[in-house]
Structure 1
Amino acid sequence: QLEFQLGWRNLNFEASLEQENESLKAKISKLQNNLRMSFEIEQHLQRNARTLEKKQALNDDLMRNGLSALQKVYTHQRAEIMKILEEESLLLSTAVNEIQDKLTQICFNAEIIGNPVGEMQCCDSSCKDVHVTMDIGPDTIPKGDVPTSYSTTFDDSKALAQTLREKMEALMLFSQEQERYLLEKQKNQAIIEDLQKNLSQVKDEKVKVLMELAKLKEACLLKCNSSVNDGHGIVDTPKVTSGHDQQGMLKTILNRTSLRQWIKKENNSGHERSDGNDLTICRGCSVDLSRLKVENATLFGKCCYYGTSHFFGS
């Protein structure tokens, strides 16, 4: 009977050890799954950071090329405009000199013919009026007295003034686009810095989880060796407080930290970014990353608490 009881106790002890070994294997597999999920999340964040860096580099190249092209066009057109203005000023000066010469010739011819004194005074007054109107502006000159070359030069000057106005408007638009580009560049740099900080924190947490997993494996091996060495005696089953509740909490934490959920959130944030309001989207991304940190920390705490309570609760 004693041998039968001892055999029965040994069988119970072996069965309890097998159950404990299976539970430890299940816990280790769960921790490995959690680590795998954290690896996938980290890779996903790294991909996002790389895509943002590539987009920023492309935008920088495009803006540099556009700025250089606009600068070349601006210098070329400025040189052409200055050249045209010089030519037009020469034409205007020659036209004014020709008009003055013709008027003086008309006055001398009238004096030679022997016109009365009143007509001579009228001629002098007309000459003075012509000089005054030429000094004031081309719009006040009568159309009958102005030659065709002067009217064409005046039209050309109007066209040049219009082109100058258009160039000034283009320069204003260019300055506005440059300011907008600088603001977008600053926003992208802030987002990249935040992502790099979050990646470093996730790496630190991953290292901590790996250290705890190694410690749990060592404790499991020590427990198995001690149980094999101490083969006599009755081993009580570990008293796990609310095991179903802890498993349920771990399942909910794993569901929260699933990669599909984070990918879905990030896709939604991408659509919102295409719609507008970059500041709110950046805040949403930072909130999601902070939630990821908190949930990883809670997962790490729950796993440590579950493992220690299972190992040392008896």
Structure 2
Amino acid sequence: MAAFNLTPFDPSTLILAGIPGLEAAHIWISIPLTMVYIIGLFGHSMILFVVGKEQTLHKPMYLLLCMLALTDIATPIFIVPKALCIFWFNLKGITVGGCLTQMFFLHTSSMMHSAILVTMAFDRYIAICNPLRYTTILTNARIAKLGLVGLMRAVLCTLPLPLLLSRHPFCANRIIPHMFCDHIAVAKVSCGDITVNNMYGLVIAIVVIGLDLTLIVLSYGLIIRAVLKISSKGAHQKALNTCTAHIFVMLTSYPPFLFSTLTHRFGQGIAPHVLIILANLYFLLPPMLNPIIYGIKTKELRDKVGKYTCRSCLPASTDSNLT
């Protein structure tokens, strides 16, 4: 607890503890955290660059992939810089306004991520079950509109979280046992009645994520039914291959979210550092893995990325001869 005394008391300041119980290992934890951040940032930046440069990739599927990349870039930005300030410089103080702002943007990007995954499932459903109408149903303009609807939903659903908390005073013990301003962790250090906050957060998580999961499962149920009707094994395999990357991304996103949400509310017997690590896995692991998954599973994207990376590796004289 002596480390907290390095942050002077300020009634408008909260204190992020980092990972309670693992304070001695903060420096070591910062190493994989930084690597995850850099790998994810590089991978998604590469996807955005390649899709932007290649006219052949200006299609709904890759527009959705760019949207996913933007949310995956944004989410760690709201977590990692402050976490590294805690781990490296012991700068644990954060204003109440800054904490509520971080909470809003963090949960908004998370909900936007889920909306994009639903749209991707719909995209794969149209591509496999109604391929002849794919280009007329899913245009780039329509995908952009769906993305805007997903963003509006995320903002409207997330905005009440900081607004409800801003009505409560905070107790003398302003230490948040977390490395970022997670909603339920901040709510627990307020002195008011947080029943409404707890219920709203839980209902939003269950209803919104439950609805998204239902739509995704429905889409893939229809996809599987359509694939089973295909007689050609080659076409059968090709249809399934177009979905594998999306399925892997969903498996890295939804199970950690559901497990983290439920354990934070009902896992009183679980050690705090375990809860925090679970929350970090949900927010930080998918942004690192998603570009790797799509890079491996999407041949067209893999070929385009390979073209640019190989070109950058060639000597200048060789590259000029090729052109």
Scaled to the shorter chain, the TM-score interval is under 0.3
**Structure-1-length-normalised TM-score:** 0.25
Higher RCO structure, 1 or 2 (CA under 8 Å, sep 6+): 1
Compare the two structures and name the one with the higher helix fraction: 1
Larger Rg: 1
